[in-house]
Amino acid sequence: MPPERVATIQRQRRVLTFDLRELDEAPISPRVMKVVQQAAGERRRLGFRYRAAGQGDQPPRYHEVEPYGIVFKRGHYYLECFDLYSRGEATGWEAHEEHRDLRLQGILDDEMLCVLPEKLPPGRRRQKRYPVRYRLAPAAISHGVSRHFTDMQVERQSDGSVIVEATTANPWEAARTLLHYGENCVVLGGGEVLRETRRCVAAMAKNYDLLAFEVR
């Protein structure tokens, strides 16, 4: 191929790029990946001990889930699953029955990780939906309203802002998605999403107050 043609193709390739970098510092255990894929592929229940990122020094909990598959988003690998119940050393058995995305790094590679004999029905359980209502300032929608949720209803206001009503299957993730707008977004309603947003904002305010005090 002539050098001029090669240079043209290389320039075209740089026009559109996708950031698919893995952001995890800790590697995923090959056995964890293999067992999770096996359970999802065979449609069988999966058991494992899990240590959440914010769990601190607490002992890991044992979970049993219905696995759907592995998804890569925001630079991390997650197990999409329906969390049936978990067991902790202090709390015992707790029923969850909710859809969750669990980081693969949190699944421990030990004797508790296994594909269980229970055969699961085809398809996924119907997800519980949670309402969310928020206002976006004009600065946040200069290029249009981003569709973070599938069933959004947008109401434009006289001051150029919009009020969005939608539902989400994951209030924890929805709160963090809306926090990306910073001061240009206010969560107005949806009990679970609003509580999680307020909790995050209060914790961040406390952290920055402590940081300011230490700097002084």
Phi, psi at residue 169, to the nearest 5°? -90, -10
d(CA 18, CA 27) in angstroms, rounded, equals 22
Same domain assignment for residues 148 and 103: no
What is the predicted pLDDT for the residue at 207?
A: 87
Per residue in 80-117, pLDDT (tens digit) is 999 998 887 766 777 777 888 899 999 999 999 999 99
For the cut 70, the answer to whether the pLDDT of residue 56 exceeds it is no
Q: Sort strands 44-50 and 114-119 into parallel, antiparallel or unpaired.
A: antiparallel
| End position of a domain, from candidates 86, 119, 152 | 119
Same domain assignment for residues 196 and 137: yes
Question: What strand order describes the sheet that includes 185-189?
Answer: 153-156, 162-168, 130-136, 185-189
Same domain assignment for residues 104 and 38: yes
For the cut 70, the answer to whether the pLDDT of residue 212 exceeds it is no
| End position of a domain, from candidates 79, 96, 119 | 119
Closest by CA position to 163, among listed 149, 172, 153: 153
Per residue in 119-142, pLDDT (tens digit) is 998 888 888 899 999 999 999 999
Asked if residue 66 lies in contact with residue 81, where contact means CB atoms within 8 angstroms, the answer is yes
Count: domains in the chain: 2
- pLDDT band for position 73 (50/70/90)? confident
* Dihedral of alpha carbons 130, 133, 139, 142, sign: positive
Average pLDDT of the residues in 154-168? 96
Average pLDDT of the residues in 146-170? 94
Partner residues linked to 40 by β-bridges: none
Domain that includes residue 166, residue range: 130-215
| End position of a domain, from candidates 119, 141, 156 | 119
Neighbours of 8 (CB within 10 A): 12
Closest by CA position to 133, among listed 155, 115, 105: 155
- pLDDT band for position 183 (50/70/90)? very high
Task: Evaluate if pTM is beyond 0.85.
Answer: no
The larger pLDDT score, comparing residue 216 to residue 47, is at 47
What is the predicted pLDDT for the residue at 24?
A: 74
What is the predicted pLDDT for the residue at 210?
A: 62
Same domain assignment for residues 141 and 192: yes
- Quick check: is 100 in a domain? yes
For the cut 70, the answer to whether the pLDDT of residue 216 exceeds it is no
Same domain assignment for residues 50 and 112: yes
For the cut 70, the answer to whether the pLDDT of residue 189 exceeds it is yes
Same domain assignment for residues 90 and 70: yes
Calculate ∠ Cα 206-208-210, nearest 5°.
70
What is the predicted pLDDT for the residue at 85?
A: 85
- pLDDT band for position 70 (50/70/90)? very high
What is the predicted pLDDT for the residue at 11?
A: 61
